[in-house]
Structure 1
Amino acid sequence: MKNLKISFLLTMSLSLFLLISCTSDNEPINEAIDPITDPTTTIELPIVITKTSFTDPLTANPKLGGTITSDGGSPITASGIVWNTTANPTIANSKTNDNTNVGSFVSTMTGLSPKTTYYVRAYATNSKGTSYGSQKTITTADTNTDNTPALMTANIDNVQYDIMRPYLYAVIGDDVKVENNGAEPGAPRYLWIQGDTTDNLDTLIEINLHIPNKQWAPGTYNLYERQDLSTVAESQGDLLLNTDDSATITSGTITVTEFNLTTKRIKGTFSFTYSKFGKDGEFKVTNGTFNYALDSPYFD
């Protein structure tokens, strides 16, 4: 009888142990799912667009910005603009950090050197990484020349260009050149004013103006297609397009509003019509302006 009781107790104990073990093994585990590590959540880089133009581009602290159109599924942790003197700047270069929200923002560039071209673009960062907008360029003012660098503007076939400067201006640094400087006495000298939309030869549009010394004074003068700079003492010019079209100036005027040998500045306006070889119609350049330093050794 005693042995039966012991056997019964052992059987009951074993059954209870197995019941507790099964209950523990099958109990659901309630753990919160981290959305960052959730395999069903896909995080992408943010999408950011660089603004089309600078605010106050000729000041010591120009402004540029961008628009974040998507955070990529993760909060924005930093955004602003980056810049450098070489192309495709990154957050490893000079940068601002002004914004953590989706939408538009504006940032101010600081610590810039005079008469230097900078490459600038907007950026935005989330947990996935950093993305960038398109690249813009800006050339800072020449602090040695009235704090104003060479600047030409023009509306070319209804497209406005607000920052045109001599080709490779940031490298060479000359506002103007005097042509025929070594010619015999009495031969015309020409002041050469050049404006390029960019330093990229594949995409630039270029305007060249050649003003004879007899017109180095306030006044309005006819502007002709460039032909002869050795004997014809008239203002001449040419237009280089970023297409295969050959442009020829058909009529135009140039107005010198200031020619000052004390401040060494020349300022004025211009406009002209032109033709394209093999194409019908009349094409126009309007609202042209120029403001350049007379920094040629000829004026020393």
Structure 2
Amino acid sequence: MKTLKMVLAVLLLTTAVVFAPGCKKTDNPDNGGDNNGDSYGDVFVTTYTPQDITETTVKCGGDVIVTQGLSLTELGVCLSTEVNPTVDDIHRYTTAWNEPFVCTVTGLEPETKYYVRAYALRGLKYYYGQEKSFTTLSAGGGGETPEAPTVPTGAIKGVFTINGNGDKVYFSQGNLQYQASKNIWRFAENQWDYVGTQDPHEGGPSGTVTGSDNADISPTYSGWIDLFGWGTSGYNHGAVSYWPWSTSTTSSEYYAYGSYEYNLCDQTGQADWGYNPISNGGNQENQWRTLTKDELEYVFDTRATAFDIRYVKAQVSNVNGVILFPDDWSNDICSLYNVNDGYADFSRNTFSASQWITLEDAGAVFLPAGGSRYGTSFYEVGNFGEYWSASCYDGAYYGHCAYGIFFQDSGLGQGYVDYLPRGGSVRLVCTAE
């Protein structure tokens, strides 16, 4: 089922405010009202954070995603001094529902808290987005500005939808790394960082973290490693090879919870690397996780975004990899080439470290090509990226394999299958509220 992102953009300036006191609220289950969410199966409404708040005015708006080729009647916003505003309250709308919608509402009371929701109308049924609030300024200035969402420690602020239910996540600030001698997990300092190897077996480049080397993987190694066999979280969840430094090439030793049928997220969840406390990611157990096969494919192939921009192959700070763009990515931030094209070369999009700051501040995620490991041999470090999912392979090879993604020059694949002992990169996510 193809999902189309309908982004709405009409700017209504200095419109009169209409009050409807005493009217019956239309927010009820038969009318599409839902105070706790913005997803209704076929229609997904998003409320924008209020902007440009003054004593008597505010700029607000929203957008809508529809599926199955549905057509809407109107798109708008509604405001009230009470929670759960509906179209019976102050509201503005446009019939151009398939464009970005932003309006400036005037005539508000100073130093007053308002609640706002975007809405869409299909036939006689209303669909409401999640509620936002703001407080107008006092006559002498001041007032309350809307609170920006709190981004968890260790996360990039871009929000990514991962399934048709509208669930969203933040990506971690960098690839997962581990130091065996102190049993410490952390996220890479920069998104383009990878450990690499000096191993002459392949003659690949060393990575971008000095003093660290996947070739020295061992229980006592004091450097950092970042290529892990599947399910090597360090928790004794039932696998034989569950330590992050495991180099066994026997697939059955890596079974999650001791069985080829289980995914990392099954049972206790402890087979997932994200169950560990991450030192620069909140340092609490079970705050992070690995995306499943279906979620990865949704992020790359299905997700609806403002300008249908999901990913590009790129070089960031001279490192090859893939850039993922958040749901609200704007086409005006930078020029991009071969968008959503897995066959493109890395060199089609190049950004320096200083240029990358702008992209990262807008929520972009970079997956570096950190290579892969098999036992103590290494492959295509700097030219090949392999990232694990939490999903075991359910085909003919059963427990020998798990799903992930891979990319290289002129190639990218989701639903990629590899042997469990293969050392791959790990990029964790956490829930975006």
Structure 1 length-normalised TM: 0.34
Q: Which has the higher contact order (CA 8 A, sep 6+)?
A: 2
- Rg larger in structure: 1
Of Structure 1 and Structure 2, the greater strand share is in: 1
